[in-house]
Structure 1
Amino acid sequence: MKVFDLFCGTGGFSKGFENYSGANFEVVFGIDLLSTSIETFKLNHPKAHAITGDIRKVSKTDVSEATKIKKGDLDVLIGGPPCQGFSSIRPFRSSEDDDPRNTLFEEYASYVNFFRPKFFILENVVGLATHKNGDTIIQMQECFQLLGYDTDWKILNSAHFGVPQKRERLIMLGAPKGSKLEFPTPKNYYSGSTIGYKDKSKIILPKMTDNLPPAITTMEAIGDLPQIGSGQQVETYDREPYNDYQRERRKDNKILELHSATKHSPKMMEIIKHSGKNINCIPKELITSGFSSCYSRLDKDEPAVTITVNFVHPASNRCIHPTLDRALTPREGARLQSFDDDFKFFGNRSEITKQIGNSVPPLLGKVLAEKVKNKL
């Protein structure tokens, strides 16, 4: 089954589709504005046609010819238009013509219209639900309805689906009119707070009666990795994995990549030694300002908070290792995002860290792939 990945980033979301063993999904196209992200996408989807550039300037006819995918041939279209694409959604204009005036969302909708996929998934930030008091998402659904597609959307917490991270995303499903749209049901239980949204039917939550296993914790995800200190780096594993999550990420991988810790200054090391759940744990004389989550340590017995693009720098977010005095390494961040250890990243350490922080967890893609397979 053929998959297109728009605004693909590293391709983590679509990699989840290919990792789902219950069906044969093949990613055949990816496009993103950032060249480093596309290079990463190509390393992990070597057979796909990949383009770096502004999606509004790429002809869909050329994409069709390059991928040999014509209207009606595409099984699944996935992607997350960047938030700025919602600021000025207008009534949908473009039919099959390439229109450089489209917003990024309209470009996504134009791909739906041009290729007529059997199924599409639009993922985005939770804030989309309340953007312009909910008018934006209503307009989006009306747009797809005009194109002949039924849609529904929900808010998912990644911790409920096997990801060791409390990362919440808005997921919209779409299929030709008359289709039944089904969302995945939670695989893990986590009782912590979730996003506040007035319509609770839009939030997928596990039930106490489901008797689910608890969510994967931070240390259950990264506890088998070598315990290095500030500024240190290793390229070999020094212990066996001790749970299924670690075994599944390691597979038969022998070389440990990206396990390099940021070299912290003496002052930062002093701050880190005081770190706890929030910034209030730090003596006031050591810091001048910061958000409540800055200079904070992750809980070892809970899923991690949402990983950001700066998770190797404690001054910007909550990213200090649960038991060691340093920030997370890129490999630990990738583990918390559910990337397998053999997933290849392109770029320098800073570029790779940003790619990891911006990714959609592959395991979230995998559970959605299961629902798509049942549909198709």
Structure 2
Amino acid sequence: MIVAGPPWFKSADNPRKTLFANALAWVDHFRPRYFLAENVVGLLGEKLRGRHTGAEDGPKNFIKSGYHKFILRALTGMGYQVRWAVLHSGAYGIPQTRRRVMYWAAQQGVKIPQFPLPTHVIPSPPHNPKLVMAVSLPTYGKVEVIQRIGGCAALAPVTVRDAIDDLPGFHWKDPDTPESSSRLQMKLKLYSADIAYNSLSGPPDDVPYASKPMNEYQRWIRNGSTTVTHHQTKCFGSMMVKRIINIPDRANADHRDLPPDLAFRSFISAHGGAPRNQEYRRLFGRVQWDRAFPTIVTDINPTHKQGQVLHPKQRRVLSVRECARAQGFPDTCVFKSLRGNLKDYHRQIGNAVPIPLGIALGRELGVVLLKARRSANNDGDDEESGWESAESA
């Protein structure tokens, strides 16, 4: 079996955009029994330069959803059965609104796995509840994410509070506040965040939890751990730190709530002070306790497109451990970096498939393999069972 999650880049000139084609080349070479691939939903609408049969040549001739069609054509051309769908991570017990397109492929003559049915109600982001339910494509119309009838499921959605409320709290220090300030009398510890690049801010590793597990997700995510590691944040310049700690600790707060001396003029239009672009409204945004995390990205920066990266109540950005919990990494997971900086940790976390989603997909493969084994046993041919054949693949 081959499992692939090639990085995706919007720029047509980026040579790394061909990495999905490289993964297909490995499939063509090894011809595994099963192939599973994951990517961002933006791939579905990506145009591909070329022309349909009978179309006129021209510099503006692109195939709509061409990259998606190329993947399907390549796999079916190799003789594989193919199944694809858009999955929502929140439907499988992750406190995150992450959507991804998945491709299952299986050789002819073996049963292709199904996509897992949701176990949790899909959480909705506060800014657009309809966003998580469908992906609009130029050739397919709207592609709905897999969900149960009526959006119902056995379990309630996992929220930000469910995921991180038991972790020890801390604030960033105000760079302009002296040590004797009353701010230092707050209950939560304070750490400097306006220090050298590649430095980190937060409590040391192996600190105790703030409380006992308060829900099933916290019990599961601890995985037997008794202390917390990687509960630190990246550091920024003094002005960035001052802006972050001055965002009000309430729901939907973002850069528009900053005092005038800290406001971003480049984000505000000259007409009435309204945001020039709807994407700007979530910059320097706080995640909400009773909602899900937005998609966890590879760089926690409040000025980026996905800038909703501030803790719901504490004056700082999300820590490495909080991002890891949003992706379903157990607390016993230790991240490594040859350079020893947090950017590598965030890249490992943001590029990963959420752990519970991977488990759900693996179970569907296990169902197929077990059925093949039982069928072979019933025929009295254990050596050619699906289980053993899959191991050899």
Give the alignment's TM-score, normalised by structure 1: 0.70
Establish whether residue 167 from structure 1 lines up as the match of residue 160 from structure 2. Answer: no
Q: Name stretches of at least 5 consecutive residues in structure 1 with no aligned partner.
A: 1-75, 89-99
Structure-2 change in CA distance of 1:87 and 1:78 (3 Å): farther
In structure 1, what residue type is equivalent to 2:6? P
Cα distance in structure 1, aligned partners of 2:243 and 2:16: 47
Q: 2:147 aligns with which of 182, 202, 205?
A: 205
In structure 1, what residue type is equivalent to 2:120? N
Residue correspondence of structure 1 range 2-21 to structure 2 within 5 A: none
- SS where residue 292 of structure 1 aligns? helix
Q: Name stretches of at least 5 consecutive residues in structure 2 with no aligned partner.
A: 48-63, 125-129, 173-190, 192-201, 268-279, 370-393
Residue correspondence of structure 1 range 138-157 to structure 2 within 5 A: 138-157=69-88
- SS where residue 224 of structure 2 aligns? coil
Q: 1:315 aligns with which of 303, 306, 315?
A: 303
Across the aligned residues of Structure 1 and Structure 2, the Cα RMSD in angstroms comes to 2.6
Cα distance in structure 1, aligned partners of 2:123 and 2:160: 15
- SS where residue 342 of structure 1 aligns? coil
Establish whether residue 196 from structure 1 lines up as the match of residue 135 from structure 2. Answer: yes
Q: CA deviation at 1:169?
A: 0.7
Q: CA deviation at 1:314?
A: 2.8
Moved more, 351-360 or 323-332: 351-360
Cα distance in structure 1, aligned partners of 2:8 and 2:346: 21
Q: CA deviation at 1:203?
A: 2.2
Establish whether residue 220 from structure 1 lines up as the match of residue 162 from structure 2. Answer: yes
- 2:332 corresponds in structure 1 to 342
In structure 2, what residue type is equivalent to 1:298? V
- 1:126 corresponds in structure 2 to 41
Q: CA deviation at 1:350?
A: 2.4
- 2:262 corresponds in structure 1 to 286
Report sequence identity in percent: 29
Cα distance in structure 2, aligned partners of 1:342 and 1:239: 17
Number of aligned positions between the proteins: 289
Cα distance in structure 1, aligned partners of 2:244 and 2:69: 48
Q: Any conservation in 2 of the 1:260–1:330 contact (CA below 8 Å)?
A: yes
Cα distance in structure 2, aligned partners of 1:101 and 1:159: 29
Establish whether residue 78 from structure 1 lines up as the match of residue 50 from structure 2. Answer: no
Structure-2 change in CA distance of 1:221 and 1:286 (3 Å): same
Establish whether residue 357 from structure 1 lines up as the match of residue 350 from structure 2. Answer: yes
Structure-2 change in CA distance of 1:354 and 1:77 (3 Å): same
Structure-2 change in CA distance of 1:79 and 1:228 (3 Å): same
Establish whether residue 246 from structure 1 lines up as the match of residue 221 from structure 2. Answer: no
Cα distance in structure 2, aligned partners of 1:208 and 1:283: 44
Q: Deviations over 1:338-372 (max 9, x none)?
A: 10111121112222122222222111111100111
In structure 2, what residue type is equivalent to 1:297? R
Q: CA deviation at 1:255?
A: 3.2
Cα distance in structure 2, aligned partners of 1:332 and 1:141: 37
In structure 2, what residue type is equivalent to 1:343? C
Residue correspondence of structure 1 range 41-190 to structure 2 within 5 A: 76-84=1-9, 103-132=18-47, 133-177=64-108, 179-190=111-122
Q: Any conservation in 2 of the 1:262–1:326 contact (CA below 8 Å)?
A: no
Structure-2 change in CA distance of 1:145 and 1:152 (3 Å): same
Give the alignment's TM-score, normalised by structure 2: 0.67
Cα distance in structure 2, aligned partners of 1:167 and 1:103: 23
- 1:229 corresponds in structure 2 to 171
Structure with more contact order per residue of length (Cα contacts < 8 Å, sep ≥ 6): 1
Establish whether residue 369 from structure 1 lines up as the match of residue 362 from structure 2. Answer: yes
